[in-house]
Amino acid sequence: MSKIAIIGGKGLGMPDYLDNVKEISVINPFGVPDPVLFSGFFDGVEVIHLSRYGKEKTVPPSRTNYRANLYALKQLDCSHILAAATCRSLQEEICPGEIIILDQFIDMTTHRLSGIQEDLKTLETACLPMGDPFSEELRDHLVEAAIVLGVTVHTKGIVLSIEGPRLSSRAESNLFRSWGADVINMVTTPEVILANELGLPYAALALCTGYDSWRVNDDPSGEKDVETILTENRDMMIRMLTYAVRKIEQHDQGEL
């Protein structure tokens, strides 16, 4: 039976979509995971919910212990990771309130540790292939979920992750657009990199909460609008994630 990890970000911090929820804790060579871990069940499938920002939303992306978080999911024998994130749009056609199923990344973080095996002194090579960092199988489940649920979805998207906590300057934003990046956030890397290093299939849906600073007439810090978008789309993100949970379980049981 599968044990699926769901990483919840803004708007999806608590696992109220699960039954028999218990808070759990683990310690690993990289420390204690900064956020809170919960276990619970959805339709009989065990789910580990990792609250990326903690109960009180006090852990910023730039200070998150990504290595402890991802290694904890490995310790708990998770077989797949589905992640929810927010992002800002770098392209006109990706509008606030729409979902992007990420398929590539550009890592512009500068201070985050994204290696695990070398610190564990294993024989694993540090030269990890990263041509296709997101699981195609899990991406397909999320795309299918969006189609079935009638959700506007971009089936591919290049996410550029910055260090934060500041947002990008207009010059940076225009540079990232010229590189072909579709959206920008602060969390996808090194999360997806670590998942690959640990051999955990990973896919992410990203909710666009606004345009980045390249749009001259927009206010990229409109937090009131962000909260509205998160509230309006929370149930939809849960339905997409839990649809994918069912598909993973069906696949593992040989029903697909």
Where do the structural domains in the chain lie, given as residue ranges?
3-252
Note the residue count of the chain. 256
Structure-token match 């009989």, residue found: 44
- pLDDT score, position 3: 93
- pLDDT score, position 106: 98
- pLDDT score, position 252: 79
The Cα 192–Cα 21 span in angstroms is 26
The Cα 56–Cα 256 span in angstroms is 40
Burial group, residue 89, by CB count within 10 angstroms (0-12, 13-18, 19+): buried
Q: Taking Cα atoms as reference points, which of 225, 221, 204 lies closest to residue 212?
A: 221
Sequential DSSP letters for 52-116: TTTTTT---GGG--HHHHHHHHHHTT--EEEEEEEEEESSTTS-TT-EEE--EEEEE-SS-----
Question: To which H or E segment does residue 41 belong?
Answer: strand 36-42
Structure-token match 């056609």, residue found: 93
- pLDDT score, position 97: 95
Which CATH superfamily includes the segment(s) 3-252?
A: Nucleoside phosphorylase domain (3.40.50.1580)
Is residue 233 within 8 A of residue 227, CB to CB? The reply is: no
Tell me how far apart the 2 most distant CA atoms of the chain are, in Å: 52
Q: What is the pLDDT along the chain (256 residues), one digit of tens a residue?
A: 689 999 998 889 889 999 999 999 888 888 776 668 999 999 999 999 998 877 666 677 878 888 889 999 999 999 999 999 999 999 999 999 999 999 999 999 987 666 676 666 555 556 788 999 999 999 999 999 999 999 999 999 999 999 988 999 999 999 999 999 999 999 999 999 999 999 999 999 999 999 999 998 766 555 558 899 999 999 999 999 999 999 999 987 776 6
- pLDDT score, position 212: 96
Tell me the two tokens of residue 139: 């991406």
